[in-house]
Amino acid sequence: MKMNKTHRGFLAATAIAAAIIFSAAPGFAQNKPDKNGDEKIRPFHIRVSDTAVNDLRKRILATRWPGKETVSDQSQGVKLQQIQKLVSYWGTGYDWRKAEAKLNALPQFVTNIDGLDIQFVHIKSKHPNALPIIITHGWPGSVFELIKLVGPLTDPTAFGGKAGDAFDIVLPSMPGYGFSGKPTGTGWDADHIAKAWDVLMKRLGYKNYVSQGGDWGSVVADKMAMQKPEGLLGIHVNMPATVPVDVAKALNNGEVAPAGLSTKEKEAFESLNYLYKKGGGYAAMMVTRPQTLGYGLSDSPVGLASFFLDKFNEWTYSGGHAEQSLTPDEMLDDISLYWLTNTAASSAQLYWENNANNFNAVDIAIPAAITVFPGEIYRAPKSWAEKSYHNLIYFNEVKKGGHFAAWEEPQLFAEELRAAFKSLR
């Protein structure tokens, strides 16, 4: 059959996608059904093909840019000058192989749970009686935002801690994210992920463990706490769900804050009010049309990068300038991971699956700990937290760090986890 340009382009794209998936690890196949109940834990190694990396560079160089924003601030989104600077480096100076090496330097594995391959990092501490912890990333994050925790958590004596502070850590990629499998049907919501994480920890041989999360990771940790699986000793979250019913109602209806709120409660209300009115458009698109959004983000590297940079600007503790909290390489490691695994759409589907307000108060009885970072989407007041997390064993407000706290302030974050779980060892 004679091929026109469309046919040739489609086949080229298919070949690139195949190269990404099957060069990632020998024998690795995304979403491989576990028909025989296979619970094997298999070693995992990343090697993205040169074809895929070169294609990314070509697409970057072929970018068609829009006109400049018509305002002096970021009220219209990422400013043209900022994204052009980042993308110029992405296409000419950035080295994905260094990012790949960061992950391959860690012990990585894959195992099949409920018919889906889950890829994860698993590091055991050299110290005896280390506390097992599973830490879940969020969106638009990945395992990259957590790997700076490896040293401080597994080898605390080298980072200002004591041997008794040590953790064994498990860092999974959520379904549809990174090198984990992509769900081919519905049902992989936060509840399902929470159950899968308990299966994973038990499969690794841990009878007792704790769970931590930020962003979606907080939602997953909360779900685990509500499910109360045997062996889950407690949780720590840095994006807690604490908003009371009356406050949630006022926010949803666009009303003024309820009377009687304290200063910190009013500040929390105003932060959420901004998110609901001006800052939540990204989530509205993913909640309602993840597939439609995915077509653009999966075809344009700059579209993907600008979508993520918008949140890096807004959610880091940087005054709207992400480069003050994260290096260009750190941001591009994360963005490139989404691009090279083609997970823009599959990651967004989690919003569609979990169409709920993740800030509204939960009802959690098991031991829970909270750290409030100043650059978080909203700073949860202790007065609200105590009504949602009924066995609040630790609550602390720190002075630096944002929504990507483990990425921005890994040493501080590790110190918070040591303090948060001290009573559960």
List, by residue number, the catalytic residues: 215, 351, 403
> What is the DSSP annotation of 57-125?
HHHHHT----PPPSSSSSTTSS-HHHHHHHHHHHHHT--HHHHHHHHHTS-EEEEEETTEEEEEEEE--
Q: What DSSP letter does each residue of 242-285 carry, written as one string?
A: -B-HHHHHHHHTTPPPPTT--HHHHHHHHHHHHIIIII-HHHHH
| Burial annotation 266-292 (CB, 10 A radius, 16+ → b, else e) | eebbebbbebeeebeebeeebbeebee
Burial track 212-248 (b if 16+ CB lie within 10 A, e otherwise): bbbbbbbbbbbbbbeeebeebbbbbbbbbbbbbeebe
CA distance 103 to 178: 11
Closest CA to 180 of 193, 165, 166: 193
Q: Which of 321, 303, 301 is nearest to 408 (CA)?
A: 321
Radius of gyration of the chain from its Cα atoms, rounded to whole angstroms: 21
